[in-house]
Chains A and B, each alone.
Chain A
Amino acid sequence: QKEVEQNSGPLSVPEGAIASLNCTYSDRGSQSFFWYRQYSGKSPELIMSIYSNGDKEDGRFTAQLNKASQYVSLLIRDSQPSDSATYLCAGGAMNRDDKIIFGKGTRLHILP
């Protein structure tokens, strides 16, 4: 069974520090990966997608993918209290018949 694993947290990070969120996946056929941010009581919001090995940067966010290790991470630089949320990792194969599998999410708490 395909799985995406995340530490549920909470992960507490001081304001201004780097928050590091990690995710592992079981299906070697997975090629597309996504990070969603979900505030309490709200729906998931896509913040990053990554399809190839290496790093992808967007503002304060950097996604990292290592397909050999089946590992995806999200770094948040200069963490702000508004970054406090649950971060969901998701992955799947790049074909129309495959579904995205979501992890259970990591709760991130930025300490003011």
Chain B
Amino acid sequence: EAGVAQSPRYKIIEKRQSVAFWCNPISGHATLYWYQQILGQGPKLLIQFQNNGVVDDSQLPKDRFSAERLKGVDSTLKIQPAKLEDSAVYLCASSLLASSYEQYFGPGTRLTVT
């Protein structure tokens, strides 16, 4: 069974530029999550989708971050404009059912904002 796929793996941009990340969850997984993990901290949930509907985006900085999940499968996360404090690893995860079930993470995208 293929795991969660993410791209790109690494990205370096200057502040005020925009960036987009892509995620393809495990086939059949209804729930998809985007997390931000800053070095030395645990993952922080940015947004959670159940199929193509948003379940939780309470910690998503909506003035600069946006996310969508097309047709309930792939998802993109965008940052525009980026700030220095957005430097982090962006993790995508999926689970078969709702949020309190086992989540499987992709390899992550390491973003550096200079």
Contact = CB atoms under 8 A, between A and B. Distances in A.
Interface of A: 4, 8, 31-32, 34, 36, 42-46, 49, 88, 90, 92-100, 102-105
Interface size on B, as a range, is 20 to 34
20 contacts: A34-B102, A43-B105, A43-B106, A44-B43, A44-B91, A45-B105, A46-B102, A46-B103, A46-B104, A92-B100, A94-B100, A97-B99, A99-B48, A100-B45, A100-B103, A102-B43, A102-B44, A103-B42, A104-B40, A105-B42
Interface string B58-101: 00000000000000000000000000000001010000011111
B43 A97 contact: no
Nearest to A34: B102
B106 A98 contact: no
A33 to B, nearest CB: 9
Contacts of A43: 89, 91, 105-108
A93 B56 CA distance: 14
Nearest to B50: A96
A97 B56 contact: yes
A102 B98 CA distance: 16
B42 A99 contact: no
Nearest to A51: B100
Contact of B101 (A4, A32, A97): A32
A100 B100 CA distance: 6
Interface of B: 31, 40-45, 48, 50, 55-56, 89, 91, 97-108
A109 to B, nearest CB: 15
B10 to A, nearest CB: 11
Nearest to B58: A99
Contacts of B103: 34, 46, 100
B42 A96 contact: no
B58 to A, nearest CB: 8
A98 B42 contact: no
B37 to A, nearest CB: 9
A49 B43 contact: no
